[in-house]
Amino acid sequence: MYKIIRTILFSFNPEWVHYFSMNGLKFLCKLPFGKTLLKAAFKPSGDSLQTNCIGINFPNPVGLGAGFDKNARYLNELEALGFGFVEIGTVTPLAQAGNDKPRLFRLPKDKALINRMGFNNDGVEVIKERLRKWNQRVAKTSDNISNQRLIVGGNIGKNKITPNEDAWRDYVICFNALHEYVDYFVVNVSSPNTPGLRELQEKESLRKILTELQTQNNQFKPQKPILLKIAPDLSLEQIDDVISLAMEIKLDGLVAANTTIDRKQLTTSESLLAKIGAGGLSGRPLLQKSTEIVEYIHQKTNGQLPIIASGGIFTGADAQEKIAAGASLVQVWTGFVYEGPYIVTKICRHLNEN
């Protein structure tokens, strides 16, 4: 059924369809018993998939990666679809429009997307207020007990106009503003769509950002886990630097990996790729590469550094592959677009049976 719907949706602009679909889901959730019926239809079966990672009890290990619900507008609806956790953002201190449109493109032959969104978001204060209201609603809902409620991560970044030497200040602003309202943080220095951002993946730049955040974190009770999201385009030497720093400063974990700028092995025509231009590639082409990175990190750290795996996950078998490689949790994004709203249910069913 979804394949028919997808064919129709794919005939429209990807970014417009994204908001059209999510607003449609929001409308359904507002109907009498709407969310209750959706949760019953999409609820992952069984309690055996509850996962404790980074000191948090996740209802299940399947999450939605950052960039899908940038502004924390759809947490209620995504919870209804069965996600164990949702990462909002990337959030920046100031609201910004992002890059010029069009900036999101489908590659159906490769089951992939290219985006150059550019951290478009409503700014940390607006998003903070949405999260405050979300938390108030959760607190009043009796069925959201501690091991069942949707876990929310905050993916934070810097504004485009902020020079790299001052980037740490942007991360601190977002961290302090959102600390009360999210369950964990992910530091995003690996998006290819903000000029110069990936330069912050160098060891000393990372050290400045992460240690500043840890200093801030020490002033809060309770403290929140801090993870780092890395690019799949890092060399092994660069990954070693990340691992070394993470172990040294006792970072809570890594997210592996972000979108790639690599276009090798795509079946999409070179002429179409040239027309699309720059941007981060996500989806099926990243499956093997991201799994290799997860496995490498897991082996190098003897499993001591928790990993959230992201990249090319479409099926339960894909998720199981990531977990077997050493991941504790998995995130979907492009797979959600191609596979549809039952993706969490299907992945959880596979994991339960295997």
Q: Are 314 and 346 in contact (CB under 8 A)?
A: no
Q: Please name which of 287, 286, 330 lies closest in space to residue 308, comparing C-alpha atoms.
A: 330
Q: Are 170 and 208 in contact (CB under 8 A)?
A: no
Sequence-distant (≥ 6) Cβ neighbours of residue 200 within 8 angstroms: 158, 164, 167, 189, 206, 209
- Is 235 designated active site? no
d(CA 288, CA 98): 30
Give how far Cα 119 sits from Cα of 67, 301, 332, Å: 8, 31, 19
At a CB cut-off of 8 Å and minimum separation 6, what does 189 contact? 157, 167, 197, 198, 200, 201, 205, 206, 209, 228, 229
The residue from 190, 191, 290, 310 that is catalytic is 191
The alpha carbon torsion through 152, 154, 155, 160 (nearest 10 deg) reads 140
Residues serving a catalytic function are 191
